[in-house]
A and B are shown apart, each in its own frame.
Chain A
Amino acid sequence: MKRSTIDLWVGLFVAIGIAAMTFLSLKVANLTPQSGSETYMLTADFDNIGGLKVKAPVKSSGVVVGRVTKIELDTKRYVARATLTLDKQYQFSRDTSAEILTAGLLGEQYIGLVQGGDPDNLASGDRISLTSSALVLEQLIGKFMTSFAEKGTQDAPAKTE
């Protein structure tokens, strides 16, 4: 078997193809290997997580410090438990609070962390105890409607009297 120029071209073709697929999976689909940076895990319990999804960003002061890696229902207390994987270079104090926020009015939801004042830091596996749930738009509208209706019934007899 002799080598010929066709082999070179086909080899180049296949190499370009592999490079294209690698680009698609790494740069476009963001399959970055997790081993690149050191991480640690925290958990946080929420009464209602709203539309929070796995892989949603965890931000502190707007800076992405990690991602939500697991969401499950704690069947003892019936609260949603979110597992956060944070970058090791970002350490938070023990009284850090977590809240579920929405990017824009109808944007995707993410977890915002607010640093506390405790000198001790949270270690891997710890639970963030200060949490506030997601703002569910339907509930908000519902509350608004009921308060509006109550106001209406209070006003109505006043007018007739």
Chain B
Amino acid sequence: MNALLAPIRRLGALSINAIWRLGFISRFFVAILLNSGQSLLRFRLTIREVYFAGVLSLIIIIVSGLFVGMVLGLQGYNTLARFGSADALGALVALSLLRELGPVLAALLFASRSGSAMTAEIGLMKATEQLEAMSVMAVNPIARVVAPRFWAGVISMPILAALFNVMGIFGGYLVGVEMIGLDAGTFWSQMQNNVDLHYDVVNGLIKSLFFGMAVTLIAVFEGYDATPTAAGVSSATTRTVVTSALVILALDFVLTAFMF
């Protein structure tokens, strides 16, 4: 009997734990917003985190954007050429990057590059009792450590996504025009005729703003909530990447349904 009940009991414990964490993360989000005053007044703190989260992610974003654009150009050309409409390659590359691939892939890369680093850093601070020490010195760790990282992520994400889009379009241009030999004028004019500033560009940036908030919130929360041991920090880092990836993709579906 006990052997039968054990899986059910485990399932129940997992669901209760999940709801517990959901409540905690919501309360944590409000706490970050309430304690953001300091990270805006002492903007240096935020700038430092923008450097670690955003500037150091530049290489991975630029290189992946370029390759994603090149693959899009190659695959798009092969498919479009079959229907005799290879001229639409520019529009295809730009629209798929601006609407979906740019924000989503940039956010996934950002989560695995910077989100995991944030979790590990805050988790280790907790494990070595630095957060406790701050509280003892009457320094609010949420205002001093967590909020600047959160805002840095929110600032960095749209910039990285925009850069990803530009590099992707450049990659598509390299393959389509320089390598395959489509007409450069057709490539750009097809793009310009089919891309709308508000509908495509601005909506894509709004998406990446939401992703930035979600990813950094999950990252700082997992760090803050980590079990203060070496194994706890390691599993918190793993959870950050997995949860961020799932949340990004689910949020992408919801936002797309709203916007387009």
A contacts, CB < 8 Å to B: 1, 6-7, 9-10, 12-14, 16-17, 20-21, 23-25, 27-31, 55, 108
Residue B192 contacts which of A9, A13, A29 (CB distance < 8 angstroms)?
A29
CB closest residue in chain A, given B162: A20
B244 within 8 A of A: no
Residue B159 contacts which of A6, A17, A23, A108 (CB distance < 8 angstroms)?
A17
B188 touches A27 (CB 8 A): yes
- A-B contacts besides A13-B54, A21-B162, A25-B197, 15 pairs, CB < 8 Å: A9-B51, A9-B55, A12-B55, A13-B50, A14-B159, A16-B163, A17-B158, A17-B162, A20-B165, A24-B98, A27-B192, A28-B98, A28-B201, A29-B200, A30-B192
Measured CB to CB, the closest approach of chain A to B48, in angstroms, equals: 6
Which secondary structure characterizes the binding site on chain A?
helix
Measured CB to CB, the closest approach of chain B to A5, in angstroms, equals: 9
B15 within 8 A of A: no
B159 touches A13 (CB 8 A): yes
Interface string of B213-226 (1 = CB under 8 A from A): 00000000000000
- Residues from chain A with a CB closer than 8 A to the CB of B98 are 24, 28
- Residues from chain A with a CB closer than 8 A to the CB of B196 are 29
CB closest residue in chain B, given A17: B159
B192 touches A23 (CB 8 A): no
CB closest residue in chain B, given A57: B193
- Residues from chain B with a CB closer than 8 A to the CB of A17 are 158-160, 162-163
- Residues from chain A with a CB closer than 8 A to the CB of B247 are none
CB proximity to A under 8 Å, residues B29-78 = 44, 47-48, 50-51, 54-55, 58
- Residues from chain A with a CB closer than 8 A to the CB of B50 are 10, 13
CB closest residue in chain A, given B42: A1
Which secondary structure characterizes the binding site on chain B?
helix
B209 within 8 A of A: no
CB closest residue in chain B, given A56: B193
Known A-B contacts A6-B47, A10-B50, A10-B55; A28 and B195 likewise in contact (beta carbons under 8 Å)? yes
CB closest residue in chain B, given A104: B85
Measured CB to CB, the closest approach of chain B to A79, in angstroms, equals: 27
Measured CB to CB, the closest approach of chain A to B171, in angstroms, equals: 14
Known A-B contacts A1-B44, A6-B51; A21 and B205 likewise in contact (beta carbons under 8 Å)? yes
A20 touches B163 (CB 8 A): yes
Residue B166 contacts which of A9, A23, A30, A55 (CB distance < 8 angstroms)?
A23
CB closest residue in chain A, given B205: A21
- Residues from chain B with a CB closer than 8 A to the CB of A30 are 192-193, 195
Known A-B contacts A13-B159, A29-B200, A30-B192; A24 and B51 likewise in contact (beta carbons under 8 Å)? no
- Residues from chain A with a CB closer than 8 A to the CB of B169 are 28
Known A-B contacts A6-B47, A10-B47, A20-B166; A29 and B197 likewise in contact (beta carbons under 8 Å)? yes
B162 touches A24 (CB 8 A): yes
B104 within 8 A of A: no
- Residues from chain A with a CB closer than 8 A to the CB of B191 are 28
B145 within 8 A of A: no
CB closest residue in chain A, given B62: A16
- Residues from chain A with a CB closer than 8 A to the CB of B200 are 29
CB closest residue in chain A, given B198: A29
Kindly list the 4 A-B residue pairs having the minimum CB-CB distance in the complex, ordered from nearest. Answer: A17-B159, A30-B192, A20-B162, A29-B197
B94 within 8 A of A: yes
How many angstroms from the CA of A122 to the CA of B19 in the assembled complex? 71
- 24 pairs, CB–CB < 8 Å, chain A vs chain B: A6-B47, A6-B48, A7-B47, A10-B55, A13-B51, A13-B159, A14-B159, A17-B158, A20-B159, A20-B163, A20-B165, A21-B201, A23-B166, A24-B162, A24-B165, A24-B166, A24-B201, A28-B98, A29-B195, A29-B196, A30-B192, A30-B193, A30-B195, A108-B193
